[in-house]
Amino acid sequence: MSSGRRCPRPDGDGAGLSRGAVRQKVGRPRVLSEETRPGDGAEVQSILNGSLRACRTKWAPLVVGGRGRSASRRRCGAAAAVGTALLCLAGCFGLFPDPVGLATLFVGEVQVTGSEGYVLVSVADMPGGGLAAIQFGEVGNEAIALTAIDPASVKIEERNGFTVLAQQFGAAGGTLIAANPAGGVVGGEVLKFTFTVTGPSPLVTVTKAKVTLASDAGVFITTWDLKTTADAVYYTR
């Protein structure tokens, strides 16, 4: 974390920087049109702005081939070299953190058009070559609860190579096992539940403690998060 102190903090105190604060510091100089503010990454920004301005000033003669071309080239080359050096130095400002992104199972919000609805089940940042098998509880200990949804109408569409091996949906809720025989899914959809809605505010709720995940490497995924689209509307894959 100490490398983050090369830029002064907005409050003037360089101690105890959080990762997020450092990220803001290092990222800020790329917003070149922004006005610098004292104590807000101004040192780094002014250096970068300076080299950019120098290059911009000499840009036109360089492109159109007017007088002073070689001199302009030299200056621009020097500016580029300084810029490259600064970029390399900017790389040194990094904190070598571990990649972010805890393995996550998404259960989307119910998407309703008329009396029909669906929910997407997706994953993100799955380790061990990706998610290869998933189990939602078992009969008598169902992991999926349905609200204002006809359980008899539930159909499951398989996505990204996942195959449903067994399923049961009833008044007590739903349970299913699905696996991907061809490999793992690191990020993306794995299942889509479609159903008929029976009332207002339909809901599909999953109990995390009853869900089991296994990776393509043949081991259980024990550290993961259950999220709904209320927690995170977008994810990356």
Give the interface with other proteins as residue ranges (CB under 8 A). Answer: 19-20, 22-23, 26-27, 30, 59, 62-63, 87, 90-101, 104, 106, 108-109, 111, 113-116, 120, 122, 124-125, 158, 160-161, 180-183, 185, 187-189, 192, 196, 227, 229, 232-237
Neighbours of 125 (CB within 10 A): 18
Q: Are strands 188-196 and 116-124 parallel, antiparallel or unpaired?
A: antiparallel
Which residues have a Cβ under 8 Å from the Cβ of 199 and sit 6 or more positions away?
Answer: 148
| Cβ proximity to other proteins, 91 vs 199, nearer residue | 91
CA pair distance 73, 86, nearest whole angstrom: 19
Shortest Cβ 20–other proteins spacing (Å): 7
Supply the minimum distance, in Å, between the C-beta of residue 212 and other proteins.
Answer: 22
To the nearest 10 degrees (0 to 180), the angle between helices 42-57 and 69-92 is 160
Q: Which is nearer to other proteins, 5 or 93 (CB)?
A: 93
State which residue, 172 or 177, has the beta carbon closest to other proteins. Answer: 177
CA distance 86 to 45: 11
Least Å distance between CB 140 and other proteins? Answer: 28
CA 53 distance to own-chain centroid: 34
Report the nearest approach of other proteins to the CB of residue 139 (Å).
23
